Amino acid sequence: MFHVVRSVSIKSVKFWEKASQTLATSTNLCIHTSLRELTTLGIKNAENLAIPSVRNDAVFLFTVVGTTGFLGVLAGQLPGDWGFFVPYLIGSISLVVLAVGSISPGLLQAAIGGFSSFFPDYQERIASHEAAHFLVAYLLGLPILGYSLDIGKEHVNLIDEKLEKLIYSGQLDAKELDRLAVVAMAGLAAEGLKYDKVVGQSADLFTLQRLINRSKPQISKEQQQNLTRWAVLFAGSLLKNNKVLHEALISAMSKKATVMECIEAIEKTE
């Protein structure tokens, strides 16, 4: 549920009013946004931004299969019937994992999410990704209710009574769609500016598609693709131009600061 929060301070307006004005003058689905523009901005491998990463999935499955295979070989050295039955039992673990993935993908994704935390860059990616959503939403005047960097629960909650009604009634207009699209693509843009491969784009792209489906008038597939690229470009530009603010927010969120403390961290950084 969305709720109306406090109005922003005068200092807050100084930050987000300029960004909102730039957004208003930049919005135009008729203007084509090219991959070259994304690359020029500093987005790495711009052509692969929309391709879901399988890095975490592949490493998880390889680890499961490799580990069970290795243990199965060792178990084969057990004496008597143990050396026959135990390897089969261990080997069946891989089949169980695949079965769970087919029947309940959510459970498998939760396991993969937990496993992903062992990657050295995982927590850093999450903090940068969610801080980007937070900062861009703030700069564009969207109030923030809360956030989480917990594994499997990474999110930033936005609250706006007017937008809530427009989204649920399927009446989201082009202006608000553009603003929300930029916020939705902010995490992807942050990863693209820093890493060679983006791994957290699936949920963001799903959110953007949901917003597009709730907009009126409906836009064509070509316009949807252009909106996505334009939103990444605009979000990336905001993040590059406000890099110090982004870094300050990453630090605050990593320390589990409250929303108010995060906003203060932004406002105290110039």
- How far apart CA 2 and CA 160 sit, in angstroms, is 6
Q: Is 0.75 topped by the overall pTM?
A: no
Handedness of CA 169, 170, 175, 178 (dihedral sign): positive
The C-alpha angle with vertex 266 and arms to 201 and 208, in degrees rounded to 5, equals 25
Whether 84 and 78 have beta carbons less than 8 Å apart is answered as no
48: left (phi over 0), alpha (psi -120 to 50) or beta: alpha
Extract the tokens encoding 15: 């930050």
Q: What is the pLDDT of residue 122?
A: 76
Q: What is the pLDDT of residue 1?
A: 28
Span 101-144, pLDDT tens digits: 556 555 555 555 554 555 567 788 889 999 999 999 999 988 89
Helix axes 174-184, 202-213, angle to 10 degrees: 170
Extract the tokens encoding 238: 């905001």
- How far apart CA 86 and CA 81 sit, in angstroms, is 8
Q: What is the residue extent of each domain of the chain?
A: 10-53+120-267, 55-116
Q: What is the pLDDT of residue 244?
A: 95
Identity (one letter) of the amino acid at 87?
P
Per-residue pLDDT of the chain (270 residues; tens, 9 = 90+): 222 333 333 344 445 555 555 565 555 555 678 889 999 999 988 887 777 665 555 555 666 666 776 666 677 777 766 666 666 676 677 666 666 655 655 555 555 555 455 556 778 888 999 999 999 999 998 889 888 887 667 788 887 677 777 788 888 888 889 999 999 999 999 999 998 888 878 888 888 999 999 888 888 888 999 999 999 999 999 999 999 999 999 999 999 999 999 999 999 986
Q: What is the pLDDT of residue 57?
A: 58
Write down the CATH number for the domain with range 10-53+120-267: 1.20.58.760
